[in-house]
Structure formats: structure tokens, C-alpha cells
Amino acid sequence: MITVPVRLGERSYDVLVGRGARHRLLEVLPVGATRAAIVTQDGVGVDVDAGIEQRRFVIDDGEEAKCLETVEDLCRGFVRFGLTRADVVVAVGGGVVTDTAGFAAAVYHRGVPVIQVPTTLLGQVDAAIGGKTGVNLPEGKNLVGAFWQPTAVLCDTEVLETLPPREYRSGLGEIAKCHFLDPAHDLRDLGLDGKVARCVAIKAAVVEADEHEQTGRRAILNYGHTLAHALETSGHYDLRHGEAVAIGLCFAARLARRLGRIDDDQVKEHDDVVMSYGLPSVVPAGRDPHELVALMARDKKAVRGLTFALLGPNGVEVVVGIDKAHVQAALAEVLA
């Protein structure tokens, strides 16, 4: 079992990575908790035992379930269960579950402890780590949310063995992103537990430096995500998140090249990493580039014009006020 600490003062916690990590739930429960609300989906198929009174709360499948209506349903269910501020929410599932349950925990009674048990590769390397919780609006992805750090995260790599191939590949999109946040290590040389733990450590270091996105450092974790979120919204989530991120990485490399931040070899490296994981590198046919640019302009980072996390001489940085013509030209390079 690999333990990766997330050091945030009084909000610090450990991420446990390895086979059977979910069975460590009792060890990480908040002291004094007497009830556990287990939030999951029918298709997850992973059971946990909190060792205290627990009740299962099932949310719908799909990205459409990640909405304010689901949060309200959960909170009303917590009331009927008798969940108090001293108790705990346990999220068991992929990113939809961990994001939604985490947000419900953040707002119920103005905050109750949450333990994340991500059951997808995407959830283990990204979604469940760092305390970002939230839901979507029809106008865009993750537009309503809160920072709410978990009590612990249990990344049980055993449960990944039964993931559908496309769901597994979705997690590889976030691993591909980490290649460019930590270029000193080639994640492809590591085993599964090592890959997950290294990605967690990369994210933990960024979160520790900028927990609430006050300095802009944390926004580098959105590398590849600005186009990715636009693709997800425009296509009504026909792409998996990691697939969209992979396309976003290839786009971001071309945009950085147009701005003189990187060269052709670095663009090729993006394509090579993405393709080595069997991920798409071009925008699916039929997407409206004007709609995609408009959606990217609504991104949470875009407070001073079109804003992207881009690679450059000093690594991945946030670049603001990018001319729309550069964005349109880079997007044209990755259109199918």
C-alpha cells in the first residue's frame, strides 16, 4: 500500500493507493461518527463497510446526474437518515459520484466530513483528489461547486480490473496530462499502483501550493481542460472526460506553438504521449468551431479574455488574454 500525504495544515489527509484500499475505510472514519451515508451508482458494483450504521444513496448514471437536483435529493435523504455534522458521507464511484457527493457534503449542515473511494482510474488519479467538488449547469461544466477537502481518499486499484475498456482509457487522459506537469518522470515506465500514486503526488503538490486557486498555480491542473470541457458540453458528454482532455492536450500544444512558447518537437511529444495511451487527438467530426470558442470563453479561468494553461519554457503556466484568431487557428489544426 502506498500512502501519499496531502499537506494542508489542519485539513491534511492521506491518500491510500493499492489493492484492497477500500477495506481500510473503518480506519479513516472521523472520530465520533455514528452514521455513514454511502453515495454511489447502481453500475458501480463496489461495496464498502464503514463499520457503523450506514445507508446507501444511489444517484443516476451519466454526467447528467451531476446537477443541482441530485444535490438536493441527496441532502433531503441525509435529513431523513438523521445524518449530523459529526457523521460522514462516503462517495463510492467515479468522478460524477465523488464530485456530486463531495459538493453535497460541503453544503449539507454547512459541511460534513467526506471520504472519497474512487472506483475509476480517472477518479483515482484526479477527480477525487484535492477537494474540488461541484456540479454542472446546462451552460457549462463544473460551474457550481465548493472547495471541500476529504477526510481521506482510498484508491483501491483492485476495482479497476473490472472497468470497461473505454472507462479505463478515460483515466489515461489525465495520466497523459501529468506527463507534462512532471516531465522528469515517464509515467509509462511505472506499474499501475505507481502511476496512480505518482499522479496523486503531482496533484497534491500543486494543491498544497494553491489550495483555493488564489495564486493561479492550481489552474495548471486544467492543462488540456479548456477545450475538453467545451467538447463535453457541446457534445452532451458523448466523449469521456479523459478522451476530451487528450484532444485538449493536442490543441493546447498547437496553441502554445503559435504563441512561440514551444517548438515542433514538443507538439509531436504531445501527440506521441496521447497516441501511446490509445486516446483521440482530433476533435470529432461535426463540431462547430465557433461554438467551441464561445464555450471556451466561459471557462472559469477566463476572467480577462480567453485564458488557457499552456506549456512554455517554465513549464505549464496560465496565459491570459489570448487573441481569438490564435485560438481559432490552433483549433482548426485539430479538427477532424
161 catalytic residue (yes or no): no
Q: What is the assigned CATH class of domain 165-333?
A: mainly alpha
Return the bridge partners of 147, or none: 132
Please report, for residues 144, 226, 232, 279, 289, the alpha-carbon distance to residue 292 in angstroms, rounded to integers and kept in the order given. 20, 10, 10, 20, 5
Read off φ and ψ for residue 172, nearest 5 degrees. -65, -25
Please report, for residues 43, 62, 98, 164, 336, the alpha-carbon distance to residue 243 in angstroms, rounded to integers and kept in the order given. 21, 15, 19, 14, 14
pLDDT along the chain (336 residues), means of 10: 96 97 97 97 94 98 94 98 97 96 98 98 95 92 94 98 92 96 88 96 96 87 95 88 97 98 97 96 94 89 82 94 96 93
Contact between residue 206 and residue 217 where contact means Cβ atoms under 8 Å apart: yes
Q: Side-chain half-sphere of 25: how many Cα atoms within 13 Å?
A: 24
222 catalytic residue (yes or no): yes
Q: Three cell numbers at 253?
A: 500544444
- What CATH topology corresponds to 2-162? Rossmann fold (3.40.50)
Residue tagged active-site, from 218, 261, 270, 300: 218
Predicted structure pTM score:
0.90
304 catalytic residue (yes or no): no
Distance between CA atoms of 336 and 326, rounded to whole angstroms?
Answer: 18
Amino acid letter, residue 272: D
What is the helix (H) or strand (E) element at residue 154, kind and residue range? strand 152-156
CB atoms within 10 A of CB 271: 16
314 catalytic residue (yes or no): no
Q: Three cell numbers at 219?
A: 489552474
Read off φ and ψ for residue 86, nearest 5 degrees. -85, -5
258 catalytic residue (yes or no): no
Contact between residue 92 and residue 44 where contact means Cβ atoms under 8 Å apart: yes
DSSP string for residues in 33-63:
--EEEEEEETTT------SSEEEEEEE-SSG
Residue tagged active-site, from 66, 177, 195, 241: 241
66 catalytic residue (yes or no): no
Residue ranges of the domains in the chain?
2-162, 165-333
State residue 303's pLDDT score. 67
Contact between residue 177 and residue 245 where contact means Cβ atoms under 8 Å apart: yes
Residues in the chain: 336
212 catalytic residue (yes or no): no
208 catalytic residue (yes or no): no
Residue tagged active-site, from 132, 169, 270, 300: 132
324 catalytic residue (yes or no): no
State residue 268's pLDDT score. 97
Chain centroid to Cα 203, Å, comes to 10
Return the bridge partners of 38, or none: 56, 90
Whether 2-162 shares its CATH topology with 165-333 is answered: no
The DSSP symbol for 124 reads I
Question: For the chain, first and last CA: distance in Å?
Answer: 43
Distance between CA atoms of 89 and 106, rounded to whole angstroms?
Answer: 10
Residue tagged active-site, from 63, 136, 141, 174: 174
CA-based R_g, the chain, Å? 19
Residue tagged active-site, from 22, 177, 229, 254: 229
Judging by DSSP bridges, how do beta strands 2-6 and 13-18 pair with one another? antiparallel
Three-state DSSP class for residue 5: strand
Read off φ and ψ for residue 81, nearest 5 degrees. -75, -20
Three-state DSSP class for residue 141: strand
- Considering only CA atoms, which of 253, 319, 260 is closest in space to residue 281? 253
213 catalytic residue (yes or no): yes
Residue tagged active-site, from 203, 254, 261, 301: 203
State residue 186's pLDDT score. 86
**Among the residues of the chain, which ranges form H helices?**
25-28, 68-81, 95-107, 121-122, 165-181, 192-209, 225-234, 241-258, 264-276, 289-297, 324-333
